[in-house]
Chain A
Amino acid sequence: MDTTITAERAAGARLGRFLGARFLLIAFTGAVLSVVLLLLAVILDIAFQDPLDSSIYTLNNFSELYLDPFVYGALYNTAVFTAVTVFVALVLAVPIAWLAERTDLPGKSLVFPLMTASAVIPGTFGALGWLFMFHPRIGTVNHWLMDLLPFIDTPPINIVSVSGMGFISGLGLSSLAFIMLAATFRAMDPALEESAQIHGLSFSQRIWHVTLPLMWPGILAAGIYIGTIGLASFDVPAIIGMANRIFTFSTFVFNEADPQEGPPNFSIVGAASVLMIVVGLLLSWWYLKVISRSHRYTVVTGKSYRPNIVPLGRWWIAGWAFIGIKLTLGVVFPFLALVWASLMPYYQPFSMQALALVSLDNFRQIPWDIFWMATRNTAILTLTVPTILMFVGLAISWVVIRSGFRYAWLVDMIAFLPHAVPNLIFSVAILVIALFWVPESIPFYNTVYIILVVFVIARISFPTRVYNNALLQIHKELDEAAYVSGLGPFGVLRSILVPLLAPATLYAWIWIALLSYRELTLAAFLTAKDNQTLPTLVLNFVTRGESTVAAAISLLLLAFMVPLVVLYFFFGRRTLQLGGA
């Protein structure tokens, strides 16, 4: 009897601890997400404001935007562009993540730094590099092909098209998809694959019928995330698309909202954001529907979890060839374009004649005082944003996946929304808050902190996607065993989940650090005299037509990333070894 009472009391105490911790985590999550909702409310407010007089509310922004037949052409282009982007990103990222995580590919620890390195090259230069290679008139590759193949009289490759833009964009975003998928592949238990092998399924059948379905939530999450980026993507559509009168929704809206002449019309971006929010909600709903059947995809259990490695044999050559093609197209080309531009007095395609013009003059034109200030601000953002987001993301994901909270779906939806909203309008919204709501005595407006807050809010969906995905694959029985052993939720987080989530945390941290390092649109609207970042400095030079100086600064930006990538190389490898132990 006493034993029963003691057991009941212990169970009651465990439940009390669980509920207490759950309440704290839900409250914390609620506080963070209320900032998201506040920003979204300001965005909705802007959407209904008259662009010339914010005291007047009107529906004109919506009619102007959605009754224009041109917009539907832009939306069609956006749909095709996004579909190609997602397709290319996943077609490249899924096999590379599999090669890096599930095979004995020689030198595979190099794959991570190489894939992440491609992310730091500004999209502007990637796009310009591609133009110089494959433009129908000035593309070097087109010229070579036409010289080599005399029976061709028109340029064989035309990158100036919606699908061409999607290809370039997908190539760039495949690194992000890779980062998102690598952790999932790593955590996958091979037991089902082995069973399939025993039952006589061939290698390709196992991949198709077992591995890919097991990876489905991870692939879907990456696809949705990449798709949402594609919807709002600006750099490639602006450099290649808009320059050739091919508009996507984002370039059309940006052109209306932020013209180089005439007053900006942020209300139209607000009206556009409403559509993006609806699309974001639909995608989030779809995603949640998939993860509601999450138990089907649990791959790390308390019993017999042991990642297995697939021997590649001679196929490793094909594996590296595939990675090599991706890296050549996605890293080498843009990098060479960047180096070339930084050494030229004005931007021009590669030629032997132009070699005579090579000089370091662009580096001499860098305003070093502003450069160092921007470097300091960028360093603050690169280190703090991912660190804060790791805590916030883990708390939100725990509430969504583990807490059993009745409104977990709502929490997840709200956390996803910032990703769907065009970055530009987020900056406009936080400017309104900083100017009108935050007292001048608090150093927030025109400081690096305003950028920090908006970076955290705008990127909140990324760690939650990564952690949701990773938590789904860790069976609840591990948590339950720990609870029975006397640990509370924080203890479970600290002792069980955090160590198991270490690879995912590392990937996400590095990736958010990289995104914070190169983030442009959000910062561009918030910087002034004292809170420049390196990417906004690059943008300022591009805007002034000094793209060769911008290239020189971008190269320095890349050079600063080398220690981080090297650190990632060593630390990441160590974490992988520990994780696999």
Chain B
Amino acid sequence: MKDSRQGFRKALLAAALLCFAAVAGSGPAMAADRTAALDALIKASKAEGGTLIAHAIIDDVRARKEAVAAMKKMYGVDVKWEYVDFPNQNRFAARLMKEAKAGRQPSTDVFNGTQSTIPRLLKANMLAEVKDWRDIYPRLPADVIVPGGGAIPEHTRIGGFAYNTRLVPKDKVPQKLEDLLDPFWKGKLAGTPYAAVWDRASVSEQGTFDEEKAKRIRGLLSEMVKKGHIVGLIGCGDENRIASGEFVGLAMMCSANNVWKGQAKGAPLGMAYIEETSNLTHSYMGLLKQAKYPATAKLFMVFMQTPEGQALNRKWELADTSYYPGNTMYKIAKDLRDRGVAPPYISIPTYMKVKPQVEKWKSEYKKILVGQKK
């Protein structure tokens, strides 16, 4: 009887300890995701003094403070974030390549880029070779890691048609590309001078390029310009100019989170996913080969994969990745598939396969949009 009572007490104590550990251990990531490789990384980061030199990811200063606090709580590392404020990733990538050529220390340890810049850094052999991402963080899907391990996703982007919800009646919201030829749109549309989203519209998830579709898009774009539907050129970060009514729609917007950010501020913005053009791509975090503090950089990249990191990105950047169930982008991608709009996922290797065709057609579309070609 005494033994059984003692056994019960021990069980109660163990349960209490487990509960305490769960509460004190700051959530599921801490308990479930701690691996020997992660412990070694934490140790190495502490040895570096916790200095993080990272570019562009998490723009809001308040969000960065939260990230630092969360990393302290999760890993016990006092992260000192030296933020590299350089939002033009193309210009920054060119700068990093020049630095590498001159044998200089790169201006950042973590580079934030897309399929436009990451392949360039890969080709220039500037990204680190990392083989142990999944040892450090087993939940990270293998297929999202860029070949060589130099980059992993930061958030998933889905492009589409952005519009002003006050100025566009519901029945005029385009469902397919031809809808943009409706006379309603005359004089009201803007495009981007770099043919964002259009350029990848003919790429399949398997890495094939549909030339016929590209020709059809060229025809449609030409008609939209000729008929005076597309009358302006703005950037993907210029959603304010849609919200202000200067333009009524942007064909096409690089990433939905620009629109969601506007919506969060009360801007009258909406996003339509058009089957023929919408696709899923990632914004990546690239680890530079010559990084000054590689362990802290890696630890940060891992942190951004955890539920806490994803939640932080969701809260401040209105962005997360499409491959963790429970994430907003996961739900959006699933919802689109359920509705019959199946945006293909274009990974870096897929993109690399069709890059010459994409570049060729991008140049054609750009010329039409800019007015260099009728």
Q: Which of A's residues lie within 8 Å of B, judged by CB?
A: 68, 70, 131-132, 135, 137-138, 242-245, 247, 255, 258-264, 266, 345-349, 357, 364-370, 431-432, 435-436, 440, 445-446, 525, 527-529, 532, 537, 540, 542-548
Contacts and interface: CB of A to CB of B under 8 A. Distances in A.
A540 B55 CA distance: 12
A70 B60 CA distance: 40
A543 B194 contact: no
B174 interface: no
Nearest to B265: A345
Interface stretch (B133-141, B232-240, B329-337): B232-240
Given A245-B232, A435-B102, A525 B244 contact: no
A545 B120 contact: no
Contacts of B235: 260, 543
Given A243-B190, A259-B193, A525-B91, 9 more contacts: A245-B232, A261-B194, A262-B362, A346-B266, A367-B83, A370-B61, A435-B99, A529-B107, A543-B87
A540 B60 contact: no
6 contacts: A259-B90, A260-B88, A262-B362, A367-B83, A370-B61, A435-B104
B70 to A, nearest CB: 18
A431 B261 CA distance: 35
Interface string B204-241: 00000000000000000000000000011111111111
B108 interface: yes
Interface string B37-66: 000000000000000010000011110000
A349 B98 CA distance: 42
- CB-CB nearest 8 A-B residue pairs: A545-B237, A367-B61, A345-B265, A435-B102, A347-B240, A346-B267, A261-B194, A543-B87
Contact of B244 (A347, A431, A432): A347
B299 interface: no
Contacts of B85: 367, 370, 529, 532, 537, 540
B337 to A, nearest CB: 27
B371 A245 contact: yes
B244 A349 contact: yes
Contacts of B261: 545
Contacts of B362: 261-262
Given A138-B246, A245-B231, A262 B90 contact: yes
Contacts of B178: none
Contacts of A364: 62
Interface string B147-180: 0000000000000000000000000000000000
A446 B116 CA distance: 25
Given A243-B233, A245-B232, A70 B372 contact: yes
Scoring A244, A366, A432 by chain B CB atoms within 10 A of each residue's CB, the highest score goes to A244
Nearest to A537: B85
B102 A260 contact: no
Contacts of A547: 240
Q: Is the interface of A mostly helix, strand, loop or mixed?
A: loop
B91 A545 contact: no
A395 B330 CA distance: 66
Nearest to A131: B246
Given A445-B104, A529-B107, A540 B262 contact: no
B191 to A, nearest CB: 9
A529 B267 contact: no
B258 interface: yes
A349 B240 CA distance: 11
B90 A258 contact: yes
Contacts of B60: 365
Contacts of B86: 527-528, 540
B94 A263 contact: yes
Given A345-B266, A545-B258, A259 B244 contact: no
B95 interface: yes
B interface bracket (residues with beta carbon within 8 Å of A): 35 or more
B313 interface: no
B182 interface: no
A545 B107 CA distance: 23
A540 B87 contact: yes
A243 B241 contact: yes
B84 A431 contact: no
Nearest to B243: A346
Contact of B232 (A243, A262, A367, A436): A243
A92 B207 CA distance: 60
Contacts of B144: none
Nearest to A73: B371
B246 A529 contact: no
Interface in B84-120: 84-88, 90-91, 93-95, 98-99, 101-102, 104, 107-108, 114, 116, 120
A543 B19 CA distance: 47
B90 A264 contact: yes
A255 B194 CA distance: 9
B157 to A, nearest CB: 12
A138 B237 contact: no
Contact of B243 (A135, A347, A532): A347
A70 B371 contact: yes
A540 B231 CA distance: 26
A260 B113 CA distance: 11
A255 B62 CA distance: 33
B246 A262 contact: no
A368 B64 CA distance: 12
B370 interface: yes
Contact of A365 (B61, B82, B194): B61
A532 B82 CA distance: 13
A77 to B, nearest CB: 11
Among B98, B233, B236, B267, max chain A CB count under 10 A is at: B233
Contact of B192 (A260, A266, A369, A527): A260
Contacts of A244: 231-233
A245 B237 CA distance: 18
B267 A544 contact: no
B372 A68 contact: yes
B67 interface: no
B59 A349 contact: no
B104 A440 contact: yes
Contacts of B104: 435, 440, 445
A245 B243 contact: no
A445 B102 CA distance: 12
Given A263-B120, A346-B262, A529 B83 contact: yes
B307 interface: no
A74 to B, nearest CB: 10
B349 interface: no
A364 B236 CA distance: 24
B239 A245 contact: no
A137 B167 CA distance: 12
B239 A545 contact: yes
Given A245-B231, A540-B85, A545-B239, A137 B90 contact: no
B196 interface: yes
A243 B234 contact: yes
A347 B268 CA distance: 11
Contacts of A537: 85
A134 B239 CA distance: 20
A431 B83 contact: no
Nearest to B194: A261
Contact of B94 (A70, A247, A260, A264): A264
B354 to A, nearest CB: 15
